[in-house]
Structures are given as C-alpha cells and as structure tokens.
C-alpha cells in the first residue's frame, strides 16, 4: 500500500517516520521545504503538489492547522481532488470542523474517492512513539482498508460513525482536555493562595476520583518551571472554538467549555499562545497575584 | 489503639467496618440509631454522645455532612472537646471549609488535643474496599500516630500541610471532579446532538489525553440508564460551594468551577440532587432536547 502525506508539522513528520519504519512507501508534500528534504533523506519520496501526491498513492493523508487549509489542499487548485483516481482513500489527521469534514467527504464521493476524518490525540509524544489515539468518521470498508496504517502510527483506532464523526469525537476530546487543563490551573492557584504546596496537593489527589491524564503528565513540568509545549495553547483555543461553533450549530449549551475558552482567549491575548496548554494557569496566577512553581 | 467514630453514613459505616476488620477496637456514635445497632452486632462498642466516645479512645474520627455539623459535634455541648484528655488525637474525614478545620484545630490545641483534617476521596466503593485517598492537614507527629489506621481504610495518605491543608486539597480534588463530571456531560450531549453515539465517542477518546477517572467509571452506568448514586449531586454542589467560598476568601477567580457550580445548582433545583454527580448531564440534555442512554 502506497501512502501520501501532506502537512509535515510537529505531528505529521513523526507520523510519516512511523509509516516509513513500518515499511510503507510514503510520498510527502509540505509548504515549507526543510522538513521535506529531511524526510527524503530518511526514505520518503517527494512530490510538488497535493495533486501529484494523490495521483500516485492508494491512501493520501493530510495533517494541517485548520479547516480552510484542509479545504484548500483537498478541493482547491492542484489539490487532492485533481489527482483523484478510483479506489483512492483520503484520510485527514487534522482537527477541523465536523461540517467541513462532511462537506469534503461528500465532494470526494462524487469522484469515487473514500474519505475518513481521522483526528488524533496524544500530542507530539504520541506521534513520535506511534501511540496516537485515532477517532474516525467514515465508511467501514475504508476504515478496514487503512487499519494496517493506523497500526503503524497509533495505539487505538475507533470508527465512531459516518463522515464527520471523527471530528465530533475530537471536539468531545477537546472539551475534556480543555476542562482538565483549566481545572488543574484553578486547583493549583487555589492551593498556592491557600498557603499549601500545589504539588503536594496533586500528589495527594491524583490517585483518587480526580485522577486524569493531565494530573499524571503536566505537574512535573510546571514544578520544573517548564511551560514550553507540548500542545500549544493557541491550538487548544482553536479547537475550543471548533467545539463552541459546532455546539452553537447544534443548539447545545456548553458553559464549562465556554469558561475554558475564555481562559485560553485571555492567555493568547496576553501573548502566551505559544506556551503549553497546561500553562493556562498563568491567567489565574496573574488575577490572583500568585505564582506556581520556581 | 482504641478508635472512636462519629457519623456512620454512606462513608462512615464502611470505614468503621474496615477498622474492625483490621483488629481495632471501635467505639461508635451516630444520630440515627439503626446503623449503630448494626455495627454493634458486628463488634463495635456503642457510646451515647461524642463526649462519651472521646473520653474512652486514643483517636476520635468524625464523618459528617457539613461544616456546622462538625463544629457542633467537636466544640458544642456534649461534644468531643468535653471528653478531651491529653494525648487524644482528633481526625475529621468530613469535607468542610478549610477555615472551619483551622478553627477547630486551634480550639483543640488549647486543650492539648491534636487535630488532623483528613478528607477522603474514592466514594462509597473506595470506603467499602478500604481504597480511600486521604488528604491530610496537621502536624507530622499526629499524622505518624494514626498512619496504622489510615492503612486499614485507604490506599494512599499524604500530609499536605498544616491544619486546613487537607480540606484545601479536598477542595482542589472537587474542582477536578466537578470539572470532569460537567465536561463528560457536555461532550456526551454534544455527541448525541451531532448524531454520534456518545458511548462510541467515549470508547474512542478514553485512552488518550482525555483519559480520566470519570470517563473510566461513569459512562457504563449511564449506558445502562443507571443514574443512582455513587456520589450524590447535592453533595457535589455542597463541595463546590466550599470551593468557591474558599476561593472568594483568598481572592482567587475560578471561572470553570463557577460554571460547574451553576450546572449542579440547576440540577438540584430541578429536583435531581439525590442522583449521581455524573447525572449532571441531565441539565444539558434538557436544554438541548436530547437524551443520552436508554
């Protein structure tokens, strides 16, 4: 099975490395050239456009920042749709609006191309270790066809429903992640203002009903004064915006997610959007006049 | 070591059973009598007041609903303080305001009684299985003295800081638990309105960065249509009120916890306070016009 991969950022590049490691032929394309040359030196084949990638592979992936980027690369000039051929399957690892994923799937169906929205969770570490969690929307037959590829890059892959369902699952994922990050910030700032060591509090509570990925993985970095990403705060905000746009479209009220969105908005407005999403506590620290960590 | 235990509710009674099982002599007292008789038949000794309990034991515990109850039983008429004797240690398993815990510790110190605020997490299941997480505030020597008892009822016990620190840690715990419960409700309702099976979504996301105790433990009950407690919603609201009162006292803004508090307020106002805290999604279901589960 010949794979194409378009979008070689923090996530895309390590995903391609795991595909190469598993023995797949991978044709890559990316706007900026440095990472393309790097992956070529590691065994990838290079193409000059999304169209060229699509024309020569069985399965073509994208991993791009936002909905308009994906729409352009798939449906725009020199896009995947121009390289479409019967039997081609399109897989999107980006996090975008469910409605965009559904629109793209519908357009590709017209030219006999299958589409899976296959959003991922697990961050750069998960991408590097081939331990991503993959949330998929689309048809069962397409899902079954690409399962050998998911095995090379992930630790779990679930077909959640039809087109768009993978992006809805990713939005759901980001509701929980955003809530955990904001709640960790709130509890650490409350502890610090209450004269109690926030890291002792985490040690005390992380084995009980408060247990979560965020408390397991983030406090140690904060204790060391390390607020570098990880997963960038402005991307968390972008994802929470997708959550709330989608919720508005469906007529769902999400007051907790709105509160998390406001915190990330304040963080990005303060110029901290390039920091880790766990650093959202900085907004609460500034308001309370306290600092967590060294 | 002879133990006293006052407050034999959903948590207190199974905790006493584990103390008995570990071979401790336990003197019990409770406002309602049925559970006292039951525990007496299982080996506990009965006393007629908190004062009588305190007078005859080395370590006296309380496990009561709210701050005024604890204050009354410790410092009020026929209270623990009236049965005080040198060397007595007082341990509170309730969830109350940190400032109340500090006040009680200060009053008991005047009569040479040590005090530990030792709030617990893990719910009734954790109490029954002796797997509680215990968050402790107080002095190291008192903590060391009662460690053999913590071993009989818990799986972890951390001295977080001085008097009140255990209650601050519990407030921190409830920030995270409240956020997880509300976020799970938001994501399940969004999925359902988006035409996607909420339980498939949970299956897809629970192994990634969204992983948490709540997603691990609560969805299966909701899938079966079981919204019985567990941990009652009105107690979660009481705890979130402690969180926000404490935050206000320290000048800390907690917007996410405020959003969670509002949801639990709406749930209790709708008459659902006796249901499980995970059933808080009912508020969002009603607003969105959708139902999760059978």
Catalytic (active-site) positions of A: 170
d(CA B254, CA A260): 10
Segment B221-238 shows an average pLDDT of 96
Look at A121-130, A260-269, B142-151, B166-175 and tell me which has the smallest mean pLDDT. Answer: A121-130
Nearest-CA residue of chain A relative to B199? A160
Give residue B230's pLDDT. 85
Count of C-beta atoms within a 10 Å radius of residue B112: 11
d(CA A205, CA B216): 17
Asked if B48 and B4 count as a contact pair (C-beta separation under 8 A), the reply is no
Domain architecture of chain B: domains with CATH: 2-162 (3.40.50.720), 169-288 (1.10.1040.10)
What residues 221-280 of chain A have any CB closer than 8 A to a CB of chain B?
Answer: 231, 243, 246-247, 250-260, 262-263
Q: Is the pLDDT of residue A230 over 90?
A: no
Kindly identify which residue of chain A lies nearest to residue B188, measuring between CA atoms. Answer: A172
Reported pTM: 0.96
Contact between chains at A284 and B254 (C-beta distance less than 8 A): yes
What percent of chain B is predicted at pLDDT more than 90? 98
Give the DSSP letter string of chain B: -EEEEE--STTHHHHHHHHHHTT-EEEEE-SSSHHHHHHHHTT-EE-SSHHHHHHT-SEEEE--SSHHHHHHHHHSTT-GGGG--TT-EEEE-S---HHHHHHHHHHHHHTT-EEEEEEEESHHHHHHTT-EEEEEES-HHHHHHHHHHHHHHEEEEEEEESTTHHHHHHHHHHHHHHHHHHHHHHHHHHHHHTTS-HHHHHHHHTTTTT-BHHHHHSHHHHHTT----SSBHHHHHHHHHHHHHHHHHHT---HHHHHHHHHHHHHHHTT-TTSBGGGGHHHHHHHHT-----
Residue B53, min C-alpha distance to chain A (Å): 29
Residues from chain B that touch A188, judged by Cβ atoms under 8 A, are 172
Burial-class residue A61 by CB neighbours within 10 Å (0-12, 13-18, 19+): buried
Which residues of B have a catalytic role annotated? 170
Does A210 sit within 8 Å of B176, measured CB to CB? Answer: yes
Q: Is the pLDDT of residue B68 over 90?
A: yes
Averaged pLDDT, B74-80: 98
On whether any CB of chain B is under 8 Å from the CB of A125, the answer is no
- Establish if A292 touches chain B: CB-CB under 8 angstroms: no
Interval A23-47: pLDDT, tens? 999 999 999 999 999 999 999 999 9
Asked if B210 and A256 come within 8 Å (Cβ–Cβ), the reply is no
State how far residue B152 is from chain A, nearest Cα, in angstroms: 17
Tell me: ipTM over 0.90. yes
Q: Quick one: closest CA in B to A248, which residue?
A: B190
**% of chain B residues with pLDDT over 70:** 100
The string of pLDDT tens digits covering residues B173-193 is 999 999 999 999 999 999 999
Cβ–Cβ gap A250/B193 under 8 Å: yes
> Looking at beta carbons, which residues of chain B come within 8 Å of A258?
259
| Statement: residue A147 has pLDDT above 90 | yes
Of the pLDDT bands very low, low, confident and very high (cuts 50, 70, 90), residue A158 is very high
pLDDT score of B123 more than 90? no
Given pLDDT bands bounded at 50, 70 and 90, which one contains residue A207? very high
Contacts of B204 in chain A (CB under 8 A): 133-136, 156, 158, 160, 169, 173
**B25 to chain A, minimum CA–CA distance in Å?**
28
Chain B nearest CA to A47, separation (Å): 33
pLDDT band with cut points at 50, 70 and 90 for residue A294: very high
The string of pLDDT tens digits covering residues A80-128 is: 999 999 999 999 999 999 999 999 999 999 999 999 999 999 988 899 9
Query: What is residue B121's predicted lDDT score, i.e. its pLDDT?
Result: 95
DSSP codes joined into one string, chain A: -EEEEE--STTHHHHHHHHHHTT-EEEEE-SSSHHHHHHHHTT-EE-SSHHHHHHT-SEEEE--SSHHHHHHHHHSTT-GGGG--TT-EEEE-S---HHHHHHHHHHHHTTT-EEEEEEEESHHHHHHHT-EEEEEES-HHHHHHHHHHHHHHEEEEEEEESTTHHHHHHHHHHHHHHHHHHHHHHHHHHHHHTTS-HHHHHHHHTTTTT-BHHHHHSHHHHHTT----SSBHHHHHHHHHHHHHHHHHHT---HHHHHHHHHHHHHHHTT-TTSBGGGGHHHHHHHHT-----
DSSP string, A132-196: EEEEEES-HHHHHHHHHHHHHHEEEEEEEESTTHHHHHHHHHHHHHHHHHHHHHHHHHHHHHTTS
pLDDT reading at B27 higher than 90: yes
């Amino acid at each position: 099975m010949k794979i194409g991969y378009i979008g070689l950022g923090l996530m895309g590049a390590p995903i391609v490395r795991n595909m190469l490691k598993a023995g797949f032929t991978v044709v890559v394309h990316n706007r900026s050239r440095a990472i393309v040359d790097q992956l070529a030196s590691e065994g990838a084949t290079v193409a000059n456009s999304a169209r060229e990638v699509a024309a020569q592979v069985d399965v073509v992936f994208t991993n791009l920042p936002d909905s308009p980027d994906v729409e352009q690369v798939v449906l725009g000039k020199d896009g995947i749709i121009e390289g479409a051929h019967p039997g081609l399957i399109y897989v999107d690892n980006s996090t975008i609006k469910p409605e965009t994923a559904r629109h793209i799937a519908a357009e590709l169906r017209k030219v006999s191309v299958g589409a899976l929205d296959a959003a991922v969770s697990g961050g750069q570490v998960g991408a590097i270790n081939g331990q991503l969690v993959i949330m998929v929307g689309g048809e069962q037959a397409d899902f079954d066809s690409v399962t050998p590829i998911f095995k090379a890059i992930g630790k779990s892959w679930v077909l959640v429903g039809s087109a768009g369902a993978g992006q809805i699952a990713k939005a759901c994922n980001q509701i929980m992640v955003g809530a955990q990050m904001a709640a960790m910030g709130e509890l650490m700032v409350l502890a610090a203002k209450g004269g109690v060591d926030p890291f002792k509090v985490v040690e005390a509570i992380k084995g009980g009903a408060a247990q979560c990925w965020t408390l397991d993985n983030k406090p140690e970095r904060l204790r060391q004064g390390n607020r570098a990403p990880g997963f960038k705060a402005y991307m968390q905000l972008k994802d929470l915006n997708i959550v709330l746009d989608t919720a508005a479209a469906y007529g769902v009220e999400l007051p907790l997610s709105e509160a998390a969105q406001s915190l990330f908005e304040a963080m990005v407005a303060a110029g901290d959007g390039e920091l880790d999403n766990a650093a959202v506590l900085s907004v609460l620290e500034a308001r309370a006049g306290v600092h967590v960590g060294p």
